[in-house]
Structure 1
């Protein structure tokens, strides 16, 4: 998500201290800079730059291949359920109703079942927005920072989350507003995935690229639920000047709007509309 404080308590998902030290050690090697002043936080527009995007794709592939201590279990589904429980506990009935929180458990189970055949698991960052990516302007070496949400997950989820972050700019007067016209187009997504798959050597087939692309698009739905729930919880525990509920509304809106096309008959949703008529719930 954006460059705002993440208040959700993740104690059960925090990476072990040993893993954190490994990451810090790797980060220092990745930086490989003599002058720290040459490091710059990327901007929102940098993510859409083809050359920069290729560097990010290759670095993401490297990150996903990291070997961390402890079990290599997927954290996504348990984390979603945990955050759902927290959101329902914190929300008033009036707040919960527009988000259909009582139906989200079923949605999580549906996604988990639909995506259960994806065995491409790696060590994921889970929050690869532009504020967590730095570049040495002299060497053009990418460094990934902020490992608060890092865990083992399907790599397609991490990539989907990165694509979703291209719709955000957290350094505007309205940092909570997402612009989905900036979501990468098909050619841009295919180019990113081809670089990602080829960065460790060899050239991926068209079928490999298309298979990963299909999974990424489906995991986009999980990303919307993930940060939608995060937004609802953050509204209740964070005093930062950020419209968390509107941010959450947009993520849930995208979930319901994209679900039918991505899941086919499984994506059928009752035609219920919010009182303000903004989106189907």
Structure 2
């Protein structure tokens, strides 16, 4: 199938209409389609229109929703979040919606790379932007969704797994473990904010000249303990989704204590507040405990995705790595076998 044929007919009509609004576009229907790598929930395409000056292209982004996403989150809620971010100029503008996806403004900034997350200056910018994100006043109840989502995903994973897979991943024992984890982690990290929940480098953009950070892709965003969101970001530092083996994680790259302390200090001091050493250390420790929940979250996600998502990614191997880390960290951090 040609790349352009992967864009639905309804979306092509919308793109032609958008292209016609720019006077310098040579032919609104003669747009070019470039697939963007790194996305694992949706297919994402950059759309380019050649212009009459031959130097500048007009661009938008097309996002085609991945298969089975309704098992992970409520699409209507995600669209409302996207519209909120668009309306308040905190993210790309929504340019159009079609049955299986949407068209977004193309942000003229670059997506971060895995190595950018380790740059102390960039990391501090991310920390401050994340604190701003956590302070968003979104509609709906300000209650965490983490545990209900994990229970829902566990049930879905059991429905799709073969008996052999369920045995390999100890799925039958996870329900009791979830209750234990919720009880233990509820003792810490009680600051609730609107969390991104998927802060990998591909969902962070930077405008190099102004050093402005934009967080994108809000599919999994919800209210949760902010310590969980920090933990999830730290866990994402072990991944490189643009390598030859994008599913392989290097847990030796998990940030050390000093690196995590720098991030948390920048996070807490983003509004001019000077946190004490004790406050920094407390949030670092809470985030470290929530890495257990992050590994379980994405482990279950990988198992389900293997059965419902057609994107070319080794979902089951990814799940296997995350759930192995879940068990190692659960034993170390929470004192259970």
TM-score for the superposition, normalised by structure 1: 0.88
Q: State how far apart, in whole Å, the 1-side matches of 2:302 and 2:146 are.
A: 16
1:158-197 CA-partner distances (Å, limit 9, x unpaired): 0100000000000011000000111100000001000100
The offset of 1:16, in angstroms, is 6.4
The offset of 1:5, in angstroms, is 2.1
- 8 Å CA contact 1:19–1:69 kept in 2: the answer is no
The offset of 1:26, in angstroms, is 3.1
- Aligned residue among 69, 76, 101 for 2:171: 101
Partner of 2:88: 26
- 8 Å CA contact 2:75–2:219 kept in 1: the answer is no
Is the helix fraction higher in 1 or 2?
1
Residues 30 and 213 (structure 1 numbering): CA distance in 2 closer, same or farther, change over 3 Å?
A: farther
What are the residue-to-residue correspondences of 1:22-101 with 2, within 5 Å? 22-28=84-90, 38-101=108-171
What are the residue-to-residue correspondences of 1:1-281 with 2, within 5 Å? 3-5=39-41, 7-9=68-70, 10-12=72-74, 15=77, 17-28=79-90, 38-117=108-187, 118-264=189-335, 267=336, 269=337
TM-align CA RMSD = 2.0
Residues 240 and 30 (structure 1 numbering): CA distance in 2 closer, same or farther, change over 3 Å?
A: closer
The offset of 1:25, in angstroms, is 2.5
Q: State how far apart, in whole Å, the 2-side matches of 1:188 and 1:160 are.
A: 13
- 8 Å CA contact 2:131–2:270 kept in 1: the answer is yes
Higher RCO (C-alpha under 8 Å, 6+ residues apart)? 1
The offset of 1:149, in angstroms, is 0.6
Q: Structure 1 unaligned segments of length 5 or more: list them.
A: 270-281
Q: State how far apart, in whole Å, the 2-side matches of 1:29 and 1:236 are.
A: 31
Which has the larger Rg? 2
Is the strand fraction higher in 1 or 2?
2
TM-score for the superposition, normalised by structure 2: 0.74
